[in-house]
Each structure stands twice: as C-alpha cells, then as structure tokens.
Amino acid sequence: MTDTNTSSLKDIQAPLKQQYRDDPGSAVVTLSADGQLDGSGVACKVTTGQALAEAGLHPATGGDGTQLCSGDMLLEALVACAGVTLRAVATALELGVSGTVRAEGDLDFRGTLGVAKDAPVGFRDIRLTFDLDAGGADEEQIATLIRLTERYCVVLQTLNGSATTSVEVTTRS
C-alpha cells in the first residue's frame, strides 16, 4: 500500500468516524437483500448489486449444479468481507500485503434433508484461510493484521456471534 492509499482511506473515514462518535444512532444502517420466488422449479432469484443471481438446490440435495448454492454464497460473503477488511486494515497499518482468501465449510446434508434428526442443519465447521505475500511485514505485523481483520470482519463476527434472527411472514390473497 502506498501512503496515498493510507491517507486517502483515513481522509474518507475520518468524518464518518467523527459523525458516529457524535451521533451513535447514525452508525446503525439496515442492509437488505431481496429475492423473487416467482417462476418454476426450486429456486430463488436474488438481486445483487451487479446482477440477478439464481440460487437453487445443491447437487447433494437434488440440484443439477446449474444454480448457485446458498451455502457457497455464504462462504463467498465471508471471503469478500474478510478480504475487504484485511485490505482496509493493511492500508491503515501501511502494510503492502497481497494474496488470496479461502473459506471452506463442512455440511452434513442429512440434516437439511431430514434424513437424520441428530445431524445439524447448517455448517458444522468453517475454515477461513489467508495465503499472504507479506511484502516485508514481520510476524508481529501479520499477527496484528489478522487479529484486526478478525475483529472487524462483519460476516465473520456475525457467524461467530450468531446474530439474533427473526422470521416474519405476511400473506396476500
């Protein structure tokens, strides 16, 4: 990262940080996602910032593999968040790191298919891996980078903390 990137990020974030200190309520933002259940088949069309993504059944539950799997999408969200967070922290710390981020998760599909009541529905283990070119950063700097990335990654913290979730239904005739 260059000093320009570090100062640019600080310049952009400084007024936001001050606003959130002065008015904590302004820091609470509701994000949303929408999906359409219209059409045929077992699918949900999710609107993303760039396109319409169609999610369907994973092949292990009877899907044909042509649609996105929501479990994969969850892991992709984790990778995206961890990657962006790591880059922001590296920029703030003036570390020139690059590399890759990978998430893997283990599912027992007996749970979601109702085959075994003792099998969990959902991921039982998720592994997040960074393969970094440290760019001359020492072990302590990398440890700080990862510690802060873990601390500030929204998706990772949500998964670790199991956010309170509610379900609401409205119907139309």
Residue 160 has pLDDT above 50, yes or no: yes
Find how far residue 113's CA is from the centre of its chain.
Answer: 25
CA distances from 23 to 15, 16, 18, 19, 171 (A): 12, 10, 8, 6, 37
Q: In degrees rounded to 5, what are phi and psi of residue 90?
A: -60, -40
**What's residue 125's pLDDT?**
92
Average pLDDT over residues 11-28: 89
Give me the pLDDT at residue 109, please: 92
Cα 37 from chain centroid?
Answer: 23
Q: How confident is the model at residue 108 (pLDDT cuts 50, 70, 90)?
A: very high
| More confident site: 14 or 127 | 127
The CATH number of 69-160 is which of 3.40.1160.10, 3.40.50.300, 3.30.300.20, 3.90.1580.10?
3.30.300.20
Specify the pairing of strand 34-36 against strand 43-47: antiparallel
Confidence grade of residue 131 (pLDDT, cut at 50, 70, 90): very high
Q: What is the pLDDT of residue 30?
A: 78
Q: What is the DSSP letter of 20?
A: H
Parts of the chain belonging to CATH 3.30.300.20: 69-160
How long a stretch of residues is the chain? 173
pLDDT of 171: 67
Burial of 56 (C-beta count, 10 Å sphere; 0-12/13-18/19+): buried
Q: Tell me the per-residue pLDDT of 31-87, one tens digit each, with 9 for 90 and over.
A: 777 777 776 678 888 888 888 888 998 999 998 989 889 999 999 999 999 999 999
CA angle 105, 118, 71 (to 5 degrees): 25
Q: What is the CA radius of gyration of the chain?
A: 20
Q: What's the pTM value of the predicted model, to 2 decimals? A: 0.84
